[in-house]
Amino acid sequence: MRLLTEIQRVGNLAAATRNLGMSYRSAWGLIQSLEEELGGPVAIMTKGKGSELTHLGERLVWAQKLIHARFDPLLESMATEVEAEIRQAVLKSRQGLKMFASHGFAIAALNPTLLTQDPPIELSFRGSLEAVSALARGTCDIAGFHIPVGPLEQKVHAHFARFFRPDHRLLHLATRRQGIMVAKGNPRSVWTIADLQRPELVFVNRQLGSGTRLILDLLLEQENLSSTPIHGFDNVELTHAAVAAYIASGKADAGLGVEAAARQFGLDFVPLISERYFFLCDAAVLQHAQFAPIVALLQTNEFKSKVNALAGYGTEQTGQIMTVGEAFAFASVDA
C-alpha cells in the first residue's frame, strides 16, 4: 500500500521506488502480484507520461487511509493505557494521571509529551461531553473538550455547566475552525447546513456525545431543520480524520469537522464556526508533577508554532489558565 500511495502522490513509478528505497523490479513485481490476486489492474504505466492508479488502485489507497483514520486514535489510547499499566506493574510506581479528551490535531501533537511524563499521562480519546462528565465522576483527572464561540456558545455551555465546579480551572489549548468538509472543488455545491437535507447528498456524522455532534444538532435547531431528511445521518465516525477519510473515499458527500482534517485529506472546507479547546481539571492538578510540564509546554513559542502550522488552528490564548467564570463571562458556578 505504501507503493500505491507513493505512486498516487508523485505520479511516477520510478520516482516512487526511489522515494521508498526499493528497486524498480521489486516494485513492478509487487504490482503484478497484487493485480493477479485482485483480478484487475491497480496502476497504469504509460511511457513518457508517468504512472497513475486505476479506480481499483485508488479505492485500495483510500480504504487504507480510512482504516488509519478510524483506528490510529484508538491505538494511541490503547498504547498509553498499556504503557501506564506495565509501568505500574513492573516498577510498582504510583498510578499516573488520566486524561479523557476529545480527539483533535492539537491534542495529537501533544500526545508524545504526555507519554514522556513519569509515569506517563494516560490519554483516552472520548467525546467532549463524555470527557467532562467523567471528570465530574472522578473517572479521570483532566478532561479535554471544545466549545464554540458566538451564538451557539451559551447553548453548548448549558450541556457542560452541571459538571463545572468553583475549584475547576480551564487551560486553553487552541482555537480552531469547524465547518462542512466536502470533496475537492465542492462538486455538490454544499454551502449551508440546509443543503445537507438535499436528497441526492450522502452525509457522514459524528457519534452521540461528541462535541461536533452536539454542534450539528444545535445548528439544525437554530435553522428549524429536522435531521430526518439527511441521508446518512446515522452513519457515524469517531474522529474528524475518519469523517474526512470517509468523504475522500467517495462514500459520502459531506460531514462536519475541523479544517485541518479537510486539508489532510485533500478536501474543501466550508467554515461555519470557530471554537475553543480547553483542558478542564481541579486547580491542584495544574501543579501536579506530571501535568505542570504540560502547562509550561503550552506556553512556549515552540509548541504554539506547531499548532499554528495546523490549518484553521490558532494560539492567541494557548497556555492561559482561567476560572470557569473567566472563560465564560455569562456563567455562574455554584459551590
Q: Per residue in 17-46, pLDDT tens?
A: 888 888 878 877 888 787 777 777 878 877
Q: Which of 49 and 301 is assigned the larger pLDDT? A: 301
Cβ neighbour number for residue 266 with a 10 Å cutoff:
10
> What pLDDT was estimated at residue 197?
97
In this structure, which CATH number among 3.40.190.290, 3.10.20.30, 3.30.470.20, 2.60.40.10 belongs to the domain 69-327?
3.40.190.290
Q: Which residues pair with 169 in a beta bridge?
A: 281, 323
The predicted-structure confidence for 55-93, as pLDDT tens digits, reads as follows 777 777 767 776 776 666 666 656 656 655 665 555 555
Assigned CATH for 2-53: 1.10.10.10
Angstrom distance (rounded) from CA 271 to CA 55: 30
Return the C-alpha cell found at 95.
498510578
Q: Which residue has the higher pLDDT, 303 or 27?
A: 303
- The full set of domain ranges for the chain reads 2-53, 69-327
Nearest residue to 290 via CA among 81, 142, 105: 142
- Look at the chain and count its residues: 335
- Residue 219: what pLDDT? 97
Helices (H), the chain: 2-10, 13-20, 24-38, 55-91, 105-115, 128-137, 153-160, 211-222, 240-248, 259-264, 292-298, 301-308, 324-327
pLDDT given at position 322: 97
* 285, pLDDT greater than 70: yes
In order of 45, 62, 69, 285, the CA distances from 205 in angstroms are 38, 19, 15, 34
CA proximity to 80, closest of 105, 106, 101: 101
d(CA 28, CA 14): 10
pLDDT of 111 reads 83
Q: At what angle do helices 55-91 and 2-10 cross, to 10 degrees?
A: 130
Question: Matching CATH topology for 2-53 and 69-327?
Answer: no
Write the pLDDT tens digit of every residue in 161-181: 999 999 999 999 999 999 999
**pLDDT above 80 for 205:** yes
C-alpha cell at 178: 469547524
Q: What is the DSSP letter of 197?
A: G
Q: What is the pLDDT of residues 115-134, one digit of tens each?
A: 788 788 888 889 999 999 99
